[in-house]
């Protein structure tokens, strides 16, 4: 089984190499992309089953034993994230093929996209802090190319902000790594989990906060989120969708992983996390209300939703961490879904600005349905998956008696509902107020090309599947949370039995 | 020795931060480069004292330098190199488009602000009309 | 473009010797300073000499293959080297060594890390060639026309230079639609 672990990283890289070498044959590129991502989806599912069976699947890169070599670890958290991200990557690739704009013009799209897939998988699998840095860089480097692909003026402008901010975060990551290494002499996560408690309390707290800042920039936490709503909407629609779905959540994954695994319970900055969570939720949603562009509303919602995950994590109880995990993977599905629909709306209406589109419920009713289901779920209406996720968060908050935060979260939910209604009223009901700045495309009965609508519908179905199998999935995340809160199992799985 | 390196690293990070705060991308890129150098130096210092070449050398195990930070620094240098190249390309593109490489403000933000202003003006007008109407009524 | 005799001659001398040096770095890299990345950068330095001497055409002449083919080939070699041990039942990136008893030269020892390094070497060389391909030309264009305005830049073949000419020649209508400053809103 451990032989399968590196494949979700290596296969997309192989695909990237092939689609660069044979860049002339566009059909071949498409084939390679779809085949690679489907294969790694299958492998991820196998790994998920194996990880749920035994708890951990560990592979040591280069055949070196753990603290020396590069460990790749699949536990329940990384397995579920891996499966969900593989599904999203595949769906968005099919969507991009259906859209055929940036994907058709730039032969570099497929290789870059596959490198992004490899980077995401590597960030989820790695059991080593430095490799986490390398994987992040792999993912980010691909994202820099994707976000500026096309080279329009607006893209270059927002791309600059995005690249510079990410670079500063990476540099800060290197600095933190250097400090951690000089304090402990190791960068293997499992090894760190044993050595960090030996340090003095202040040093531990400093490391915990420094890592929170590093990943907070990538995840879009409250004071550090400003780059996100500016840069994401300018990218091509499929790229925005995959960024919104995956990149920030990989940051959240890194926060969950490092805070629970590396630091003992009294060194975790729990109060800080809770305060930041409350601010992230409210500021994000207020930002969303002010906007007029569908993509920007949704981008601000990414920030707001991150707050819920961090809130649940900050409780550091089994219920809280389980809720955080559930919320995270459910949100990946919802956010990808909403931005895919936003791309379809933009294509159909010629603009993603609410004042320039309207009346889509008559012209493209299917798009309305595809938008309404995830939007209601995001707002947390029963019986959708988003309701289960939110309920889990509220429940965990109530058990920990964080009443203020539960109140804030409920209030933010209402505002989320409000801004979803705003999109609905602006894009699907009524008439458009101004002429669209782009050119509307006739979408036919479906509202868009078959592949685009089909892949969006597939993502909606995945979201509905989360609703139907909410109970077993929640039980699964609870098992994941138990593992996360007891790092000794992870350490034992990676470093082997200790006397 | 490591005090000197620490001093150099802090200088690099300081200059890099100052350059990062500029508006021109060309300066930002130099700033990012300096910042990266500072971080890499710090990574190198984190290995501890100097020593003989590890892995290939022959000698007492206690004399070897720690190879890991060197490997890490090398990897980090490669990554910084790649991303700086990309930033340069981006700056070149910006210069191609606008003959300049100043990082501009967010257009949409200004649009939203303008909408807010229009809303306010409209509200003021309505308010003024109402006041006028009330005035006339009283007469 | 005007060529200078001194530069031309010295580049002719330097180019091949630097390439040999880069190959030395590549092969020595396993247990001495050097390796694929350093070797690739050295080769890149050699190529940049050619660029200084004769512009981007000279660089194209030096390497027949297209930059992205070199880059992709390098990546392919590296990834396949990483994957072979998995197929053989080992773990990813694991390596072994081989010794050959070559008649005249003596015993040759090499490790399976070498193909990986060759892959890295090719990736770096490909990347540097791509940079020359992408940015080498436009500077010459600017010399001719002076500085370019917005319209010029959009009309000029800048699309074809994205990713080192990795853009497909599709219908120009699609190009223009993609390039419309749709979100450069008021």
**C95's tokens:** 């390596």
Closest approach of B97 to chain C, Cα-based (Å): 5
* Dist. CA A198–CA A267, nearest whole Å: 12
Exposure string for C114-138, b = 16+ CB within 10 A, e = fewer: bbbbbbbbbbbbbbbbbbbbbbbbb
Q: Is residue A59 within 8 Å of residue A2, measured between CB atoms?
A: yes
Nearest one of C86, C84, C22 to C49, comparing CA atoms: C22
Residue C165 CA neighbour count, 13 Å, CB half: 17
For the record, the structure tokens of A60 come out as 């040591």
Q: What pLDDT, on a 0 to 100 scale, did the predictor assign at position A111?
A: 92
Measure the CA dihedral C67/C68/C74/C79, to 10°.
Answer: 170
Band of pLDDT at residue C154, cut at 50, 70 and 90: very low
Closest residue by Cα to residue A195 from A444, A495, A398, A457: A495
C159 → chain B, closest CA residue: B93
Name the nearest CA neighbour of A263 among A212, A328, A309: A212
Q: Which of A173-177, A480-484, B120-124 has the lowest mean pLDDT?
A: B120-124
pLDDT in tens, B83-100: 888 888 888 888 878 777
- Give me chain A's average pLDDT, please: 89
CA torsion through residues A308, A310, A315, A319, sign: positive
At residue C172, does pLDDT exceed 80? no
C-alpha distances (whole Å) from C54 to each of A40, A379, A400, C62, C139 are: 46, 62, 71, 11, 13
Looking at the predicted structure, is the pLDDT value of residue C149 above 70?
no
> Chains near B, with 3+ CB pairs < 8 A?
A, C
Q: Which residues of C touch A (CB under 8 A)?
A: 68-69, 71-73, 75-76, 78-80, 82-83, 85-86, 89-95, 150, 158-159, 162-163, 166-168, 170, 174-175, 177-185
CB-based contacts of A319, cutoff 8 Å, min separation 6: A392, A395, A396, A399, A478, A481
Given a cut of 50, whether residue C144 has pLDDT beyond it is: no
Domain spans in chain C, listed from the N-terminal domain onward:
5-146, 149-186
Contact status, residue A158 vs residue B21, Cβ threshold 8 Å: no
Q: Is A350 left (phi over 0), alpha (psi -120 to 50) or beta?
A: left
Average pLDDT over residues A414-434: 87
Q: Give the model confidence (pLDDT) of A78-137 as tens digits.
A: 999 999 999 999 999 999 998 877 788 888 899 999 999 999 999 999 988 999 999 999
Beta carbons within 8 Å of A156's beta carbon, 6+ residues apart: A148, B90, B93, B94, B97
Output phi, psi for C63, to 5 deg.
-120, 115
Q: What is the pLDDT of residue A74?
A: 92
Q: Which of A59-63, A221-225, B31-35 has the lowest mean pLDDT?
A: A59-63
The residues with which C110 forms a beta bridge, in sequence order, are: C98
> Taking residues A385-391, what's their average pLDDT?
91
Contact A33, A116 (CB under 8 A): no
Average pLDDT over residues A234-242: 89
What is the reported pLDDT for A377? 92
- The rounded Cα B77 to chain-centroid distance in angstroms is 17
pLDDT (0 to 100) of residue A33: 93
CA–CA dist A320, A331 (Å, integer): 16
pLDDT of residue C168: 47
**Would you call B47 an interface residue with chain A, using a CB distance cutoff of 8 Å?**
yes
**Are B97 and C154 a contacting pair at CB < 8 A?**
yes
Residues 6+ apart with CB under 8 A from C155: none
Name the CATH topology of B2-104.
Answer: Helix Hairpins (1.10.287)
**A17:C72 CB<8 A:** yes
CA distance A173 to chain B (A): 9
Determine, for residues B111 and C185 on separate chains, whether the beta-carbon distance falls below 8 Å: yes
pLDDT at residue B60 tops 80: no
Per-residue pLDDT tens over the stretch A19-48 = 998 888 888 999 999 999 999 999 999 999
This prediction's pTM: 0.89
Cα separation, A337 vs A334, in Å, equals: 5
Distance CA C129, CA C138 (A): 15
Residue of A nearest to C166 (CA): A107
Q: Long-range contacts made by residues A371-375, C-beta under 8 angstroms, separation at least 24?
A: A371/A338, A371/A341, A371/A345, A371/A423, A371/A424, A371/A427, A371/A428, A372/A424, A373/A460, A373/A463, A373/A464, A374/A333, A374/A334, A374/A337, A374/A338, A374/A341, A374/A460, A374/A463, A375/A338, A375/A420, A375/A423, A375/A424
Which residues are CB-contacts of A330 (< 8 A; sequence separation ≥ 6)? A385, A386, A388, A389, A463, A466
DSSP code string of A260-310: HHHS-GGGS-HHHHHHHHHHHHHHHHHHHHH--BHHHHHHHHHHHHHHHHH
Q: Do C153 and B85 touch (CB under 8 A)?
A: no
Give the pLDDT confidence of A248-262 residue by residue, as tens digits.
999 999 999 999 998
Set of chain A residues whose Cβ sits within 8 Å of the Cβ of B38:
171
What pLDDT, on a 0 to 100 scale, did the predictor assign at position A497?
Answer: 64
- What pLDDT, on the 0 to 100 scale, is given for residue C1? 61
Residue C163: pLDDT band (50, 70, 90) is very low
Cα–Cα distance for residue pair A49/A55, rounded to 1 Å: 10
| Residues of chain B contacting residue C32, judged by C-beta atoms under 8 Å apart | 56
Instruction: Judge whether A127 and A71 are in contact, CB under 8 Å.
Output: yes
Each domain of chain B, given as residue ranges in start order, spans 2-104, 106-139
Q: Indicate the domain borders of chain A.
A: 7-494
Contact A205, A269 (CB under 8 A): yes
Bridge-based pairing state of the strands C97-102 and A70-74:
unpaired
Mean pLDDT, rounded, for B59-79 = 82
- Cβ contact C46:C58 at 8 Å: no
Local structure of A473: helix, strand or coil: helix
pLDDT at B38 over 70: yes
pLDDT of residue C156: 38
Residue of A17, A59, A236 to mutate when probing chain C, most C C-beta within 10 A: A17
Burial class (CB within 10 angstroms; exposed 0-12, middle 13-18, buried 19+) of C172: exposed
Mean pLDDT is lowest, of A299-303, B14-18, C2-6, for: C2-6
Show Cβ contacts of residue A324 under 8 Å, excluding neighbours closer than 6 positions. A252, A256, A309, A310, A312, A313, A393
Among C60, A233, C51, A147, smallest CA distance to B93 is for A147
- Cβ within 8 Å, pair A148-B69: no
**pLDDT at residue A139 tops 90:** yes
pLDDT of residue A337: 93
Among B85, B97, B108, the residue with its CB nearest the CB of C131 is B85
Q: Is B99 on the interface with A (CB under 8 A)?
A: no
- Among A329, A327, A302, A301, smallest CA distance to A312 is for A327
């Amino acid at each position: 089984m451990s032989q399968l672990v590196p494949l979700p990283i290596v296969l997309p890289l192989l695909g990237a190499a092939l689609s660069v070498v044979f860049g002339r044959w566009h059909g071949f590129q498409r084939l390679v992309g779809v085949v690679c991502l489907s294969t790694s989806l299958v492998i991820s599912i196998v790994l998920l089953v194996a990880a749920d069976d035994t708890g951990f699947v560990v592979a040591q890169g280069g055949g070196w034993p753990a603290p020396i070599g590069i460990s790749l670890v699949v536990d329940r958290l990384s397995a579920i994230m891996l499966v969900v991200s593989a599904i999203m990557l595949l769906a968005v690739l099919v969507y991009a093929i259906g859209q055929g704009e940036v994907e058709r013009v730039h032969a570099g799209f497929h290789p870059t996209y596959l490198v992004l897939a490899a980077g995401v998988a590597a960030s989820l699998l790695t059991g080593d802090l430095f490799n986490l840095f390398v994987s992040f860089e792999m993912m980010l480097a691909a994202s820099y190319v994707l976000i500026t692909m096309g080279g329009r003026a607006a893209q270059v402008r927002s791309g600059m902000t995005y690249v510079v901010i990410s670079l500063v975060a990476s540099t800060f990551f290197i600095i933190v790594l250097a400090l951690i290494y000089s304090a402990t002499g190791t960068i293997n996560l499992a090894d760190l989990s044993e050595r960090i408690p030996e340090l003095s309390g202040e040093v531990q707290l400093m490391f915990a906060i420094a890592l929170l800042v590093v990943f907070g920039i990538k995840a879009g936490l409250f004071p550090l989120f400003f780059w996100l709503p500016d840069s994401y909407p300018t990218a091509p629609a499929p790229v925005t969708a995959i960024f919104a779905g995956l990149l920030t959540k990989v940051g959240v994954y890194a926060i969950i992983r490092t805070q629970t695994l590396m630091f003992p319970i009294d060194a975790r900055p729990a109060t800080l996390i809770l305060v930041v969570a409350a601010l992230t939720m409210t500021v994000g949603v207020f930002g969303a209300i002010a906007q007029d562009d569908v993509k920007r509303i949704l981008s601000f919602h990414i920030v707001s939703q991150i707050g819920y995950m961090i809130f649940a994590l900050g409780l550091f109880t089994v219920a809280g961490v389980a809720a955080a995990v559930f919320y995270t993977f459910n949100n990946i599905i919802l956010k990808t879904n909403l931005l895919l629909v936003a791309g379809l709306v933009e294509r159909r209406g010629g603009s993603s600005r609410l004042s320039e589109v309207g009346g889509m419920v008559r012209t493209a009713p299917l798009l309305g349905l595809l938008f309404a289901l995830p939007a209601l779920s995001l707002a947390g209406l029963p019986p959708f998956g988003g309701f289960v996720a939110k309920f889990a968060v509220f429940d965990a908050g109530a058990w920990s008696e964080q009443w203020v935060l539960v109140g804030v979260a409920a209030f933010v939910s209402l505002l989320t509902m409000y801004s979803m209604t705003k999109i609905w009223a602006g894009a699907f009901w009524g008439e458009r107020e101004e002429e669209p700045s782009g050119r509307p495309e006739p979408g036919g009965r479906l509202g868009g090309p078959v592949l685009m609508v089909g892949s969006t519908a597939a993502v909606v179905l995945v979201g509905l599947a989360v609703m139907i199998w909410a109970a077993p999935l929640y039980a699964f995340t609870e098992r994941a949370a138990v593992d996360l809160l007891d790092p000794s199992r992870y350490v034992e799985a990676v470093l082997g039995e200790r006397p | 020795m490591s005090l000197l390196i620490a001093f150099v690293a802090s200088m690099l990070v300081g200059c890099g931060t100052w350059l990062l705060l500029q508006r021109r991308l060309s300066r930002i890129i130099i700033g990012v480069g300096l910042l990266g150098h500072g971080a890499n130096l710090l990574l190198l210092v984190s290995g501890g004292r100097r020593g003989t070449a590890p892995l290939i050398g022959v000698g007492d195990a206690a004399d070897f330098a720690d190879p890991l930070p060197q490997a890490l620094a090398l990897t980090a240098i490669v990554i910084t190199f790649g991303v700086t190249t990309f930033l340069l390309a981006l700056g070149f593109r910006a210069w191609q488009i606008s003959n300049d490489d100043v990082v501009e403000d967010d257009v949409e933000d200004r649009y939203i602000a303008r909408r807010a202003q229009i809303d306010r003006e409209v509200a003021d007008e309505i308010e003024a009309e109402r006041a006028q109407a009330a005035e006339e009524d009283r007469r | 473009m005007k060529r200078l005799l001194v530069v031309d001659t010295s580049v002719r001398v330097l180019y091949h010797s630097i390439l040999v040096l880069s190959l030395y770095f590549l092969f020595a890299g396993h247990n001495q300073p050097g390796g694929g990345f350093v070797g690739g950068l050295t080769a890149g330095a050699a190529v940049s000499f050619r660029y200084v001497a004769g512009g981007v055409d000279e660089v194209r002449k030096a390497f027949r293959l297209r930059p992205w083919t070199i880059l992709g080939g390098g990546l392919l070699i590296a990834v396949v080297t990483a994957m072979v041990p998995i197929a053989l039942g080992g773990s990813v990136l694991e390596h072994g060594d081989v010794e050959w008893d070559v008649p005249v030269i003596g015993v040759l020892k090499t490790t399976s890390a070498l193909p990986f390094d060759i892959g890295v070497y090719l990736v770096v060389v490909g990347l540097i060639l791509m940079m020359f391909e992408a940015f080498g030309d436009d500077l010459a264009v600017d010399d001719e026309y002076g500085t370019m305005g917005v319209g010029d830049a959009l009309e000029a073949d800048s699309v074809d230079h994205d990713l080192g000419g990795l853009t497909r020649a599709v219908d120009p209508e699609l190009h223009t639609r993609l390039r419309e400053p749709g979100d450069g809103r008021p």
